[in-house]
Chains A and B, each alone.
Chain A
Amino acid sequence: MMSQAETSEKPQFIWTEFVIEASIRVLGFSTIGFVLLIFLFLLLEGVPVFWEVPLKNLFGTRWYPNFGYFGTLPLIFGSAFVTLTAIIIALPLGVLTAVFIREVAPEWLREILKPMVEVLAGIPSVVLGFFGMIVIAPLVRVIFNAPTGLTVFSGALVLAYMSLPTIISVAEDALDAVPKSYRDAALAMGATQWQTIWHVVVPAARSGIAMAVMLGMGRAIGETMAVMMVTGNAARMPLDLGSLFMPARTMTATIAAEMGEVARGGIHYHALFGIGIILFLLTFIINLAAALAIFRKQRRGGLR
């Protein structure tokens, strides 16, 4: 009895366990370490711009780095405008598609549609950008009689398309998590299938759907290649609705386009990293909002 108690108190030291555990820990921490390093790098290279360029200039409306104008507002507005337009397009499309796949489509069709949505997510953005340039831009130019097809609207269409898979699959999971008995309850009250979906299922899944939109938005605002190819890249302030059919320039496209040509350590170089910091903060806020939505949903626990 005594010896048994003793052995159970002192677990045997197992080498393999130790090695596996240690390496998992090292890998885990190194991921966090890399993120911190990248952030540190971003700060080191970007922060100087905040004293090299007066704030008035930095948050001005003109971005002509070669002439000493580093106004980031057109870029921030450009990104926001393109992203919001994309979400306005993608939200109804994505949610309706999710509703169709989850609530309406018969089993066999669902089995086909779900993998197709996943394939959508795998299309490289440069391919979509190319498609946007060759197909969407000319269409936009002709239909809206714009001087050029490379506009905010074209960019938003491409971005909407890119964020759709995220929105669809997250929204679909949210719908799936709504207990079947909710549907039964509404149907038993004489609701039609559509009334059941709109009055009960979608509202019950709303925090998940909000999360889907936020994740889609996070994807859209950080997207570079496709946007650079189709939005026209003119750094002008999009101040009215007419700007929808004018070119704009986003933060990501600016960094990508200009980084190759700047002198390392110069003001322009620092300014591009400064934009990176702003972008990072924006995405961080959006992701935080999404995380809060998830958190709130979990805290409400079950459905009681």
Chain B
Amino acid sequence: MVDGKIVIDDVSYAYGGDWILRNVTLHVPPNAVTVFFGPAGGGKTTLLRLINRLNDLVEDTEMSGRILLDGKDIYDRRVNVPNLRRRVGMVFALPLPIPGTIRENVLYGPKLAGMNNPDQLGDILERSLMQAALWDEVKDRLDSPATALSGGQQQRLCIARSLSLEPEVLLLDEPTSGLDPISTRKVEESLYELKQNYTIILVPHSVQQAARVADYAAFFLMGELVEYRPGVDIFVAPRDKRTEDYVTGRFG
């Protein structure tokens, strides 16, 4: 199997005693888009949240197995969790700007990380918004409230916010679920650019999107990793009957 930027090694996870991920093992290659797809409740979001330890504060959970980033266990006691989260950015299904202006949203992470050189911050602002394909639409109103943007713009703002920290890994959980087709295409196109520099894991909002963007694809069903192969193969010639049913739309 490919050498992984991220290695998910026999991970199981439970909320309140219900095991919703079971023995998932998976290597995520660098500089590619890896797609986690499958029906609702399969545990895709949960797995993403485990990769940047966002579930640390959720009570009454259990986890077994290991997750490695560049060969190092991210659940090791010595890991600095805020630093880990700066290296592994996440964009959520619901675009939620934090209270404040567009500029404040994008620069929140860098400022927290202690950056305060205005020139540098200005560069980061422009670069992040460009990469998220939002710059042209907001460059004249960087200081207006982020909540005044449309849903699609807010989603790209959240992507820009994650990019501002230049993470090594970008986790995107249904980033286009609330977007119109044009914004969706913009985001998908920017993925081609981004994967040159980042390792991307994306939960798509449809099988079609999965097929469009995936270099590698993992099919999750009820907490189980059913099949994991290069993108084209899994959609053109799935090996498992359950994958085939799902990608051909025959799934119940």
Contacts and interface: CB of A to CB of B under 8 A. Distances in A.
Interface in A187-202: 187-193, 195, 199-200
A181 B59 CA distance: 16
Contacts of B183: none
B113 A190 contact: yes
Contacts of A181: 92, 94, 96
Size range of the chain A interface in the assembly = 20 to 34
Given A188-B89, A192-B82, A304-B147, A200 B165 contact: no
B57 interface: yes
Listed residue (A181, A189, A204) with the most chain B CB atoms within 10 angstroms of its CB: A189
B85 interface: yes
Contacts of B213: none
28 contacts: A182-B96, A182-B98, A184-B54, A185-B97, A185-B98, A185-B158, A186-B98, A186-B108, A187-B57, A187-B85, A188-B52, A188-B90, A188-B92, A188-B162, A189-B109, A189-B161, A190-B82, A190-B85, A190-B109, A191-B82, A192-B82, A193-B57, A195-B112, A199-B98, A199-B108, A200-B98, A203-B99, A204-B98
Contacts of B117: none
Contacts of A200: 98-99
Interface residues of B, number: 28
A107 B59 CA distance: 8
Nearest to B148: A304
A195 B114 CA distance: 13
Contacts of B103: none
B247 to A, nearest CB: 30
Contacts of B113: 190
B128 to A, nearest CB: 12
A99 to B, nearest CB: 14
Contacts of A183: 57
A199 to B, nearest CB: 7
Contacts of A2: none
Contacts of A204: 98-99
B83 interface: yes
Given A195-B112, A303-B147, A188 B96 contact: no
A266 interface: no
Given A187-B85, A190-B82, A199-B112, 15 more contacts: A182-B98, A185-B98, A186-B98, A188-B89, A188-B162, A189-B85, A189-B109, A189-B161, A190-B113, A191-B108, A191-B112, A200-B98, A203-B99, A203-B100, A304-B151
Contacts, number: 66
B162 A303 contact: no
Nearest to A200: B98
A304 B175 CA distance: 17
A190 B112 contact: yes
A185 B92 contact: yes
Nearest to B56: A187
Nearest to B108: A189
A204 B147 CA distance: 12
Contacts of B151: 304
B86 interface: yes
Given A106-B59, A181-B96, A190 B83 contact: yes
Interface string B92-129: 10101111100000001100110000000000000000
Contact of A184 (B92, B108, B112): B92
Interface in A62-91: none
B210 to A, nearest CB: 23
A204 B162 CA distance: 20
A181 B174 CA distance: 14
Given A107-B59, A181-B92, A304-B147, A188 B54 contact: yes
A190 B113 CA distance: 8
Contacts of A190: 82-83, 85-86, 109, 112-113, 165
A93 B92 CA distance: 34
Contacts of A193: 57
Contacts of A265: none
Contacts of A54: none
A179 interface: yes
B155 to A, nearest CB: 12
Interface in B52-87: 52, 54, 57, 59-60, 82-83, 85-86
Listed residue (A187, A200, A203) with the most chain B CB atoms within 10 angstroms of its CB: A187
Contacts of A192: 82
Contacts of A179: 96
B53 to A, nearest CB: 9
Interface in A12-37: none
Nearest to B164: A189
Nearest to A191: B112
Contacts of A182: 96, 98
Contacts of A188: 52, 54, 85, 89-90, 92, 162
Contacts of B162: 188-189
A79 B166 CA distance: 56
